[in-house]
Chains A and B, each alone.
Chain A
Amino acid sequence: MSDAVPAADPQAMAVAVEGASKTFNPGRANEVKALEDIDLDIGQGDFVTLIGPSGCGKSTLLRLIAALIDTTEGSVLVNGKPADAARLDRDYSMVFQRAGLFDWRNVSRNIELPLELMGWKAADRRRRSAEMLDLVKLGEFARHHPAELSGGMQQRVAIARAMSFHPKLLLMDEPFGALDEMTREHMQNELLRIWSETRITVVFVTHSIPEAVFLSTKVVVMSPRPGRIAAVIENDLGERNEATRDDPAFFANVTAVRNALRGGH
Chain B
Amino acid sequence: MNAAKALQRSWLPPVVAAVVLFGGWEALLAVIRPDGFVLPPPSKIGGAVVQNFDAIVTATGVTGFIIVTGLLAGVAVGAAFALLVTAFRAADETLTPLAVAINAVPIIALAPIFNAWFGILSPRSNQAVVVVLVFFPVFVNTARGLTQVEPSQIELMESYGAGKWRIMREVRIPNAMPFFFTALKLATSLAVIAAIVAEYFGGRQDALGNLITNSAGLTRYDDAWAAVLAGSLVGIGLYALAVLIERLVMPWYFVARRSA
**With contact pairs A117-B166, A147-B255 given, residues A100 and B156 touching in the complex (Cβ less than 8 Å):** yes
Q: Is the CB of B162 within 8 A of A117?
A: yes
CA distance A133 to B250 in the complex (A): 25
Q: Is the CB of A102 within 8 A of B162?
A: no
Question: Which DSSP category, helix, strand, loop or mixed, fits chain B's interface?
Answer: helix
Contact partners of B160 in chain A: CB under 8 A:
90, 93, 113-114, 117-118
Q: Is the CB of B161 within 8 A of A147?
A: no
Q: Is the CB of B156 within 8 A of A94?
A: yes
**With contact pairs A90-B160, A104-B174 given, residues A148 and B255 touching in the complex (Cβ less than 8 Å):** yes
**With contact pairs A94-B155, A147-B260 given, residues A103 and B252 touching in the complex (Cβ less than 8 Å):** yes
Q: Is the CB of B155 within 8 A of A96?
A: yes
Q: Is the CB of B150 within 8 A of A113?
A: no
User: How does the 8 Å CB contact mask read for A154-193 relative to B, with 1 for contact and 0 for none?
Assistant: 0000000000000000010000000000000000000000
Residue of A nearest to B256 (CB): A147
Contact partners of A245 in chain B: CB under 8 A:
none
Q: Is the CB of A104 within 8 A of B159?
A: no
Q: Which of A90, A98, A106, A117 is in CB contact (< 8 Å) with B152?
A: A98
**With contact pairs A94-B155, A103-B252, A103-B253 given, residues A148 and B259 touching in the complex (Cβ less than 8 Å):** yes
Complex interface residues of chain B between 148 and 201 (CB less than 8 A to chain A): 150, 152-153, 155-162, 166, 170-171, 174, 177
CA distance A100 to B256 in the complex (A): 14
Q: Is A145 an interface residue (CB 8 A)?
A: yes
The distance from the CB of B145 to the nearest CB of chain A, in whole angstroms, is 12
Contact partners of A258 in chain B: CB under 8 A:
none
CA distance A96 to B143 in the complex (A): 26
CA distance A68 to B161 in the complex (A): 10
Contact partners of A63 in chain B: CB under 8 A:
155
User: How does the 8 Å CB contact mask read for B236-257 relative to A, with 1 for contact and 0 for none?
Assistant: 0000000000000010110111
**With contact pairs A94-B156, A96-B152, A148-B259 given, residues A104 and B252 touching in the complex (Cβ less than 8 Å):** yes
Q: Is A126 an interface residue (CB 8 A)?
A: no
Tally the A-B contacts, defined by beta carbons under 8 Å.
Answer: 67
- Number of interface residues, chain A, beta carbon within 8 A: 27
Contact partners of A103 in chain B: CB under 8 A:
174, 252-253, 255-256
Q: Is A66 an interface residue (CB 8 A)?
A: yes
Q: Is the CB of A104 within 8 A of B156?
A: no
Q: Is the CB of B256 within 8 A of A68?
A: no
The distance from the CB of B221 to the nearest CB of chain A, in whole angstroms, is 50
Complex interface residues of chain A between 63 and 114 (CB less than 8 A to chain B): 63, 66, 68, 87-88, 90, 92-94, 96-98, 100, 102-106, 113-114
Q: Is the CB of B256 within 8 A of A87?
A: no
Contact partners of A87 in chain B: CB under 8 A:
158-159, 161
Q: Is the CB of B150 within 8 A of A98?
A: yes
Residue of B nearest to A101 (CB): B153
CA distance A118 to B252 in the complex (A): 25
The distance from the CB of B84 to the nearest CB of chain A, in whole angstroms, is 23
Contact partners of B171 in chain A: CB under 8 A:
102
Footprint of B on A, CB under 8 Å?
63, 66, 68, 87-88, 90, 92-94, 96-98, 100, 102-106, 113-114, 117-118, 145-148, 171
